[in-house]
Amino acid sequence: MKKFEHLFFDLDGVIYLGNKPIERAASSIKLLSENGFKIYFVTNNATKSRSQIAQKLRGFKIKANKNQIISSAFAAAQLAKKLNFSEAFVIGEDGLKKELLLAGLKVSSKPKFDKKAVLVSGLDRNFNYNQLKIGLRLILSGSKWIACNLDPTYPVEDGIDPGAGSLAGALAFGAGKISKDGLLIPTYPDYVVGKPNKNLLSDFLKENNIKNALYVGDRIDIDVLFAKNLAIKSALVLSGISKKSDISFYKKHYNISPDFVFDSIADLTKYLID
């Protein structure tokens, strides 16, 4: 009997780093699939649509289709649709805009400053002052703000880059207020759809009656916490952000610890099929 039937993998730091695949990631996914495991990919990265993510994975020789992918861009678009917004101003890249368009929203660079428009923020590697200005004015006018995620950083081939949370931080502090002690108190998004918010995956688990699941990620503060919030098991791989030295820190100070720890997806695979 398998230890788990359904495997949910983070992407950045688990399957690839930027445009470089993690060593033996493709062969590991192939081997797991051949051994009957159901494979899914869950990502906070909102720069690509689900179809674009599937295409990137196939470029790494990993079989994938958009129905295997749960992304914060897709979740943000579906939430905006559910809340009956008709227009979105996007701080984000092409993939996020595509998901919003597919959900039936108009993506505008000059939104109306009213409650029919929604601000949607993700990672935008061409983020500029004008975007910050428009986003700030939308918040101050009473528009709702959907953040795809608040990841402060993400791993790439040559190190660590600022994540969507860094950009959201600029908006949060821009719309903030000064306390009586002279401290700047940020204004947080109305909705955050990405990990560690369990809503990114909870409905999918319920709809498909999935119980025997393992979530695999590279961050204790996001991925392991996400699995804990979902009440499923977690595996930390040390090929991305979190290091072995972080495990005791998070266990002591936040009572968060992974159920399993592996150096990489290849070591996880060996454990699962032995």
pLDDT 10s digits, 179-191:
999 999 999 999 9
Give the tokens for residue 132.
């910050």
Which CATH number do you get for residue 239? 3.40.50.1000
Helix, coil or strand: residue 107: strand
Q: Are residues 102 and 182 in the same domain?
A: yes
Q: What is the pLDDT of residue 1?
A: 44
Collapsed DSSP state (helix, strand, coil) of residue 199? helix
255 in a domain, yes or no? yes
86 lies in the same domain as 181: yes
Length of the chain: 274
Q: Give Cα separations from 173 to 114, 139, 165, 185 (angstroms).
A: 21, 12, 12, 7
179 falls within a domain: yes
Specify the pLDDT at position 99: 98
Q: Does 174 reside within a domain?
A: yes
- Position 175 scores a pLDDT of 96
- Compute the C-alpha angle 221/222/224, nearest 5°: 80
168 burial via Cβ count (<10 Å: 0-12, 13-18, 19+): buried
Domain count, the chain: 2
- Which residue in this structure is represented by tokens 């700047």? 184
Whether 49 is covered by a domain: the verdict is no
User: In terms of domains, do 78 and 16 share one?
Assistant: no
> Do 26 and 128 belong to one domain?
no
User: What pLDDT, on the 0 to 100 scale, is given for residue 162?
Assistant: 97
Rounded to an integer, what distance in angstroms lies between the CA atom of residue 115 and that of residue 144? 7
Per-residue pLDDT of the chain (274 residues; tens, 9 = 90+): 468 999 999 999 999 999 999 999 999 999 999 999 999 999 999 999 999 999 999 999 999 999 999 999 999 999 999 999 999 999 999 999 999 999 999 999 888 777 788 999 999 999 999 999 999 999 999 999 999 999 999 999 999 999 999 999 999 999 999 999 999 999 999 999 999 999 999 999 999 999 899 999 999 999 999 999 999 999 999 999 999 999 999 999 999 999 999 999 999 999 999 8
Question: Two tokens at 192?
Answer: 């955050």
- Same structural domain, 143 and 174: yes
